[in-house]
């Protein structure tokens, strides 16, 4: 297991910012860490990187304890903090040389710097001072410093903030590639980003984990208002479709196509196939549409918040 978190808490004064959370992450998995503002995402990430001591509970990275072995942890973690603090007076390469020094990369440092500049697409701007870079390029410098020591674990706090759509696509592609053989946790407020990148989703609200599953399962388990889009080869009546168990509403589209609304997408898909078989109807196409992750997120965080 790359990351193990057990009953981890952080209390600031009176406030329990992170409240006894537990999870485990495997290598080769990209996990989206979601939650409303102030939910405790950054605090959790800072604790896992070994930068912020927990109030109670335990966590380890690649088997090293975040408190008693924080140096070992930092060697294995690449961290892009939310505010991405950089030295604006330094040139890109100069800054990366400074970071390579901290990681004691020695002679290998120069080659590694060249390759992360290439990897993060900093090449065209490499001669500029960091202060003169656009926000998107500053974010790339942040990513380059996180990757420099080729860490096993990457913790990225809102990594795509400030990027234009082209840069977004480039950086997401890079994160996806990195995720193939590293453990990546990224926090974001952009649901399309989670859908595009993440294998797994952890949703945190008021310091507590309220959902933790594979993205597909979270969508499946919360697919309350999903629908199926079906096209038959021949006419089918509304009454016939409404008689299929699990369908709450149907909408006719052109050319024998229908939208079938349901709270049990998977169940209705099976029932529909059975209906076609028994009644000798041919299905030309069938597509299910789950509730969007954004709707699921709102439902979970708003319901759970008011339930407290
Ligand atoms: N150093 C601190 N001292 C006191 N309270 C803090 C400190 N850092 C964070 N908090 C509080 O802890 C809670 C969790 O903050 P955190 O930054 O972890 O949330 P977040 O989920 O990352 O939010 P966002 O999405 O807005 O970045 C917030 O209520 C915040 O005000």
Domains by residue range for the chain, with CATH: 3-220 (3.40.50.300), 223-290 (3.30.70.980)
Q: What does the pLDDT read at residue 266? A: 81
pLDDT for residue 195: 87
With CA atoms as reference, report the closest residue to 22 among 43, 4, 41, 46: 4
Give the model's pLDDT for residue 255: 87
Q: Given this model, what pLDDT does residue 264 score?
A: 81
pLDDT at 291: 65
Task: Please name the residue whose Cα sits nearest to atom 25 of ligand 1.
Answer: 37
Give the Å distance between the CA of 18 and the centre of ligand 1.
9
Nearest to 232 by CA among 276, 294, 176: 276
Query: Is the pTM for the entire model greater than 0.80?
Result: no
Residues lining ligand 1, CB < 6 A? 12, 15, 17, 35, 37-43, 82
pLDDT recorded at residue 303: 56
Closest CA to 72 of 186, 153, 175, 1: 153
pLDDT of 46 reads 95
* Segments in the chain below pLDDT 50: 304-308
Ligand 1 atom closest to the CA of 158, numbered from 1: 27
Q: Are 171 and 141 in contact (CB under 8 A)?
A: no
ipTM confidence? 0.97
What is residue 304's predicted lDDT score, i.e. its pLDDT? 47
In this prediction, residue 224 carries a pLDDT of 56
286 phi/psi in degrees, rounded to 5: -145, 125
Which pLDDT value is given to residue 181? Answer: 87
How many Cα atoms sit within 13 Å of 213 on the Cβ side?
Answer: 11
- In whole angstroms, give the CA distance from residue 176 to residue 252: 39
Among 13, 40, 83, 188, name the best residue to mutate to test ligand 1's pocket (greatest count of ligand atoms within 8 A of Cβ).
Answer: 40
pLDDT of 215: 84
Phi, psi of 134 (to 5 degrees): -70, 165
Let me know if 268 is exposed, middle or buried by CB neighbors in 10 A (0-12, 13-18, 19+): buried
Mutate to test the pocket of ligand 1, among 39, 46, 83, 188 (most ligand atoms within 8 A of CB): 39
- β pairing state of 30-34 and 200-205: parallel
């Amino acid at each position: 297991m790359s990351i193990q978190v057990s009953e981890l808490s952080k209390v600031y004064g009176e406030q329990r910012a992170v409240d006894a959370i537990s999870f485990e992450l495997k290598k080769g998995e990209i996990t989206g860490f979601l939650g409303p503002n102030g939910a405790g995402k950054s605090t959790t990430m800072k604790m896992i990187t070994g930068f912020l001591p927990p109030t109670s509970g335990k966590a380890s990275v690649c088997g090293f304890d975040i408190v008693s072995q924080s140096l070992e942890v930092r060697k294995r973690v690449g961290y892009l903090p939310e505010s991405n603090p950089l030295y604006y007076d330094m040139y890109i390469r100069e800054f990366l040389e400074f970071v390579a020094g901290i990681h004691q990369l020695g002679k290998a440092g120069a080659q590694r710097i060249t390759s992360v500049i290439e990897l993060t697409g900093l090449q065209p701007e490499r001669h500029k001072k960091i202060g003169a870079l656009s926000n998107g390029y500053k974010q790339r410098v942040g990513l380059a410093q996180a990757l420099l020591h080729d860490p096993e674990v990457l913790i990225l706090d809102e990594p795509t903030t400030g990027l234009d759509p082209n840069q977004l696509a480039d950086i997401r592609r890079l994160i996806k590639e990195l995720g193939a053989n590293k453990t990546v946790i990224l926090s974001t407020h952009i649901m399309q980003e989670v859908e595009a990148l993440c294998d797994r989703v952890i949703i945190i609200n008021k310091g507590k984990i309220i959902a933790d599953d594979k993205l597909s399962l979270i969508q499946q388990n919360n697919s309350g208002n999903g629908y199926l889009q079906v096209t038959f080869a021949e006419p089918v009546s509304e009454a016939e479709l409404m008689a299929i168990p699990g369908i709450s509403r149907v909408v006719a589209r052109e050319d024998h196509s229908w939208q079938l609304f349901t709270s049990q997408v998977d169940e209705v898909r099976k029932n529909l196939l059975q209906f076609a078989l028994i009644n000798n109807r041919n299905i030309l196409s069938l597509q299910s549409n789950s509730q969007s992750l954004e709707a699921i997120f709102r439902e979970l965080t708003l319901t759970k918040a008011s339930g407290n």
